[in-house]
Structure 1
Amino acid sequence: MFKDSFKYYKARQPAPDLKDVIDVHNSDNKNVRKITVFAADCQNDLSLYLGLKPVEGWSAFDFINIPGLLFIKNPFTPSGQRNWIVKCLKNYTKKPNILNIDAHGFLNDDKTWWDESFGAASKTDLLAKLRWATLGYHHNWDTKHYAENFKTEIPQDLKDLTSVFATALGFNKFNAEAAIINYYRMNSTLAGHTDHSEIYLEAPLFSVSFGQTAVFLIGGLKLEDPAHALLLRSGDVVVMSGNSRLRYHGVPRILYGDSAPWESNDQSLGECNDWKRAKSYISEARINLNIRQVLKPGQSAL
């Protein structure tokens, strides 16, 4: 059952055995099969500015025992990962986006989480307090609903990023309208849940990981159903579509990654101050970007 599996992988003493965790980066994995991605010239034009490798070089998979769950193995370049990590930490934590810490008065009106955490008089205790940010249609954590008077513009780069992913996987009409960014420390977890707040549940949900590695648990439509555990490394993209869209899922454990795919041998990339700060954060953290379509095709408002 999902709860039993979650408890097992969350346990500290004794630590769980990871032998049954599906690792798509293992070329001998029998739980997945390779699928075709669709590459077009316009996608590769977008990919360049989004920090993505050419689409025709991506490795994408589906899961034999989890219909509808799709996986793109790190399609980002090292500099692309750097840029997106900085965006998640510096850009997407600014107003008008909403943060979990807003209600606690930790930030002055003219200061951002980034400024306060990494500025001259840095408040390092704020680093661990940041847990989520919402963009576009803001998810209401109490009602689990969206509202037309509780939304802001979703960043164009997020719309473009999911457009490339969607087109490559054959979801040609996907429209990014809401995003939640989760910020995990090494002892963080995300309890099992389903994502059912969106009106148009036929649209896929895109989830992008950066930083340290996560054990991602996905079960069935009921908590009583068995669950599968997957390893998600920095840059990996998971797409919940079709039958998998409403399955229970969560993150019982964060692990230190066995590589740092944001690093590069290209000395021309250098290390600007923004990246130095982001790199220090990501060495002890994981970021998850998940993007959804809220409205039905052709619908302009709730």
Structure 2
Amino acid sequence: MSYQSAETTVEDDFFMKKFKYYKANKPKPSLSAVLFPENVDKQDEIVPTMPNKVHEDPRTRFLGLKTTKEWQTFYFPKRPGLILIKNPFTSIGQRYWIRKCLEIYPRKPNKLNIDIELTLSDWWQECFKNGECNKQLMKKLRWTTLGYHHNWDTKVYTEENKTPFPEDLSELSDVVAKYLGYSSFRAEAAIVNYYHMNSTLSGHTDHSEVNLGAPLFSFSFGQSAIFLLGGKEKSVEPSAILLSSGDIAVMSQEARLCYHAVPKILTASNFPWNENVSSIDNDVPNFKYIADSQVFLSALNENVDDIKWRDFENYVQQSRINMNVRQVLNDNQKYLTDCFINL
């Protein structure tokens, strides 16, 4: 299964050769050059860093995140603008976001790849309609879009092709953006990709947004993936980065318009969504940042129950979920029809 994503493809070159190398099963690729924090042989290519000013954000507990002082952040000297936040999620937080991506985000009015053949108001519910798991239907879902819906044919966003953006995902993106110093970032569009163990995402760039200066946030859950990031041309040999469950990859500045791809899904070495899962104290006041923090806490705590979690657990044991969030408009625009540009 391959996802033909949003943008341009060109003839084979260094990027494609590296993609084919990691995609191969016979022979299996060596992972010795793959970048991840624990790879001691590559510590000059993935370097710990910390934003200049880190202020504790009270929203973290409501969004399934550890406190920001616990976050581990890395940059890549050979890939300016690429940032990795190494799993800042709590175990119950991972369960919350996995469940959201499966149970809530594929509901109408959001758009799904299967809309062209099926009309479903609630995909996840339909998968268990007769008390049994419809595995064929489950594997059909490859993507769902939120907010401004990406048009896969025209590559153009329109005001007519737009639905409300999820409040919780907007809050999550805002916490990450402010941690990195992007105080004006607005989450306006997202694509949630659903990968199975034989899935790939071919090389592409993301340039449909009006605002190409705002960062792109990519959240990974479930099984691991090799992520390739190259340059603005496919003649640039890409770096291979391991993304595990809970990791946040940020493409900003120079990296924002670089070619990237996912050539392989890997079996996860651990299951952080099952580690020390415990409920969060509900006896807290509402914070001004979130309209109803009690609702967020209740939704998080629902996922402590292993029986209720079982169907979602079965899915991520065989799949990877990726939420990628971007700002569509310039900072001084409210609608696509506004003719202002950033100065």
**Normalised TM-score (structure 1):** 0.95
Code of the residue aligned with 1:33 in structure 2: it is V
Aligned to 1:40: 55
Task: Answer yes or no: is the 8 Å Cα contact 1:116–1:122 preserved in 2.
Answer: no
Q: Which moved more, 1:289-298 or 1:265-274?
A: 265-274
Shift in CA distance, 25/76, structure 1 to aligned 2, threshold 3 Å: farther
Instruction: Report the alpha carbon displacement of residue 210 of structure 1 after superposing the two structures with TM.
Output: 0.2
What is the CA–CA distance in structure 2 between the aligned matches of 1:260 and 1:121, rounded to whole Å?
A: 25
Task: Answer yes or no: is the 8 Å Cα contact 1:118–1:277 preserved in 2.
Answer: no
1:84 aligns with 2:97: yes
Q: Which moved more, 1:127-136 or 1:263-272?
A: 263-272
Instruction: Report the alpha carbon displacement of residue 103 of structure 1 after superposing the two structures with TM.
Output: 1.0
Shift in CA distance, 59/299, structure 1 to aligned 2, threshold 3 Å: same
Indicate the percent of aligned positions where both proteins have the same amino acid: 49
What is the CA–CA distance in structure 1 between the aligned matches of 2:99 and 2:308, rounded to whole Å?
A: 7
Q: Of the candidates 238, 246, 258, which is equivalent to residue 269 of structure 2?
A: 258
Alignment of 1:193-212 (within 5 A): 193-212=204-223
Structure 1 segments unaligned to the other structure (5+ residues): none
What is the CA–CA distance in structure 1 between the aligned matches of 2:69 and 2:45, rounded to whole Å?
A: 23
Code of the residue aligned with 2:322 in structure 1: it is N
What is the CA–CA distance in structure 1 between the aligned matches of 2:260 and 2:278, rounded to whole Å?
A: 40
What is the CA–CA distance in structure 2 between the aligned matches of 1:27 and 1:13, rounded to whole Å?
A: 27
Instruction: Report the alpha carbon displacement of residue 24 of structure 1 after superposing the two structures with TM.
Output: 2.4
Task: Answer yes or no: is the 8 Å Cα contact 1:206–1:239 preserved in 2.
Answer: yes
Aligned to 1:235: 246
1:70 aligns with 2:83: yes
Code of the residue aligned with 1:214 in structure 2: it is A
Q: Of the candidates 260, 263, 274, which is equivalent to residue 249 of structure 1?
A: 260
Shift in CA distance, 267/146, structure 1 to aligned 2, threshold 3 Å: closer
What is the CA–CA distance in structure 2 between the aligned matches of 1:267 and 1:132, rounded to whole Å?
A: 30
Code of the residue aligned with 2:108 in structure 1: it is K
Shift in CA distance, 178/25, structure 1 to aligned 2, threshold 3 Å: farther
What is the CA–CA distance in structure 2 between the aligned matches of 1:150 and 1:5, rounded to whole Å?
A: 36
1:131 aligns with 2:142: yes
1:22 aligns with 2:26: no
Aligned to 1:58: 71
Q: Which moved more, 1:115-124 or 1:274-283?
A: 115-124
Instruction: Report the alpha carbon displacement of residue 276 of structure 1 after superposing the two structures with TM.
Output: 0.8
Task: Answer yes or no: is the 8 Å Cα contact 2:92–2:278 preserved in 1.
Answer: no
Shift in CA distance, 267/218, structure 1 to aligned 2, threshold 3 Å: closer
What is the CA–CA distance in structure 1 between the aligned matches of 2:231 and 2:225, rounded to whole Å?
A: 19
What is the CA–CA distance in structure 1 between the aligned matches of 2:18 and 2:310, rounded to whole Å?
A: 37
Task: Answer yes or no: is the 8 Å Cα contact 1:162–1:206 preserved in 2.
Answer: yes
- For residue 175 of structure 1, give the secondary structure of its aligned residue in structure 2: coil
Aligned to 1:141: 152
Aligned length: 297
Code of the residue aligned with 1:257 in structure 2: it is A
What is the CA–CA distance in structure 2 between the aligned matches of 1:266 and 1:11, rounded to whole Å?
A: 36
Code of the residue aligned with 1:223 in structure 2: it is K
Q: Which moved more, 1:117-126 or 1:261-270?
A: 261-270
What is the CA–CA distance in structure 2 between the aligned matches of 1:301 and 1:274, rounded to whole Å?
A: 40
Task: Answer yes or no: is the 8 Å Cα contact 1:25–1:73 preserved in 2.
Answer: no
- For residue 272 of structure 2, give the secondary structure of its aligned residue in structure 1: coil
Instruction: Report the alpha carbon displacement of residue 26 of structure 1 after superposing the two structures with TM.
Output: 3.7
CA deviation map 1:40-90 (0-9, x unaligned): 24x2x1101000000011110110100000110000000000000000000
Task: Answer yes or no: is the 8 Å Cα contact 2:92–2:277 preserved in 1.
Answer: no
Q: Of the candidates 109, 112, 115, which is equivalent to residue 99 of structure 1?
A: 112
1:112 aligns with 2:122: yes
Task: Answer yes or no: is the 8 Å Cα contact 2:36–2:46 preserved in 1.
Answer: no
Alignment of 1:283-298 (within 5 A): 283-298=317-332
What is the CA–CA distance in structure 1 between the aligned matches of 2:266 and 2:49, rounded to whole Å?
A: 28
Aligned to 1:9: 22
**Normalised TM-score (structure 2):** 0.84
Structure 2 segments unaligned to the other structure (5+ residues): 1-13, 280-302, 337-343
Shift in CA distance, 126/33, structure 1 to aligned 2, threshold 3 Å: same
What is the CA–CA distance in structure 2 between the aligned matches of 1:133 and 1:291, rounded to whole Å?
A: 12
1:275 aligns with 2:286: no
Instruction: Report the alpha carbon displacement of residue 266 of structure 1 after superposing the two structures with TM.
Output: 4.2
